[in-house]
């Protein structure tokens, strides 16, 4: 589980090919607009943002790759499931990450991976 604090952080989102076929980035090879959603413990969407990143060019079945993406962090502390999906097909999550949001200045929890904070 990653940990972050508001107002923003850089997250390592893992893109994994869960199908039996090789994923190939469709033409043209340009960055893809993603819809990133923050889901609370009940599964409700509590925040969402649009970001742009270049998806993997190709992934074999079961293969994964990581992209670093800066995102705003919700103000309310708690555990969240973060999903990223192409804006054109928001029902198809292509990356997931569990994040514990802590209040600004709160100590890092034991066994949790910190994520980079905003550098503004």
The Cα 62–Cα 6 span in angstroms is 33
Residue matched to tokens 């514990």? 100
pLDDT (0 to 100) of residue 103? 87
The Cα 9–Cα 31 span in angstroms is 20
How does strand 23-24 pair with strand 78-86?
A: unpaired
pLDDT category at 116 given cuts 50, 70, 90 is low
- The whole-model pTM stands at 0.82
pLDDT (0 to 100) of residue 120? 34
Instruction: Compute the half-sphere exposure of residue 1: CA atoms within 13 Å on the CB side of its CA.
Output: 16
The Cα 111–Cα 114 span in angstroms is 10
Q: What confidence tens digit (pLDDT) does each residue in 31-90 have?
A: 999 999 999 999 999 999 999 999 999 999 999 999 999 999 999 999 999 999 999 999
């Amino acid at each position: 589980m990653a940990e972050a604090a508001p107002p923003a952080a850089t997250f390592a989102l893992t893109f994994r090919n869960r199908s039996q076929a090789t994923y190939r980035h469709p033409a043209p090879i340009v960055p893809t607009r993603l819809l990133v959603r923050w889901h609370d413990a009940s599964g409700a969407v509590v925040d969402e943002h649009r970001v742009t990143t270049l998806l993997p060019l190709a992934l074999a079945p079961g293969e994964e790759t990581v992209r670093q993406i800066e995102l705003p962090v919700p103000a309310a502390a708690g555990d969240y499931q973060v999903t990223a999906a192409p804006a054109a097909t928001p029902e198809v999550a292509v990356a997931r990450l569990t994040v514990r949001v802590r209040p600004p200045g709160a100590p890092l929890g034991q066994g949790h991976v910190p994520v980079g904070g905003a550098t503004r």
